[in-house]
Amino acid sequence: MPMDRTLYPRDWDTIARAIKDAANWTCQGCGRPCRRPGESDMELCDRIIDHFPQWEDDLAVTIDDPEQGPIDVLKLGRFTLTVAHLNHIPQDCRPENLKALCAPCHCRMDLKAMATKRRLKAERLGQMKLF
């Protein structure tokens, strides 16, 4: 689900960058090292291979192409660091409510909270709370 930038504070990019810097561009969920600002695909791959061999298998998947045979396809989106709101309220940017998560961890967190996210969206759109 894409983020609705209108729900975030104007300085969200600065806030998110500070959280990522504080986490040393590493997922606070699983420990995955993530792409640093300005790092190329090859630089990221080299850093992972050289310093984080436990994550090397996540760099690519092998697909079986009928014409060319097995091909490795890079999956570098897995190494994108995001910032998650633990209570799913984008306006709540207290440091204790924010966590640096890789894309897969952020997706897992959001999937587990779909009911909460639907309720919060309904409330934003004017749905009243019953309790």
- Number of folded domains that form the chain: 1
Q: Is the pLDDT of residue 43 over 90?
A: yes
Structural domain boundaries enclosing 100: 7-38+76-124
Entry pTM: 0.81
Residue at 44 is within a domain: no
pLDDT band at 131 (very low <50, low <70, confident <90, very high): low
- Rounded mean pLDDT, 66-91: 93
Cβ-Cβ contacts under 8 Å for 34 (sequence gap 6 or more): 20, 25, 26, 27, 79, 80, 81, 102
Q: With beta carbons less than 8 A apart as the criterion, state whether 19 and 100 touch.
A: yes
Q: Is the pLDDT of residue 2 over 80?
A: no
CATH number of the domain encompassing residue 26 = 3.40.1800
Distance of CA 99 to the CA centre of its chain: 10
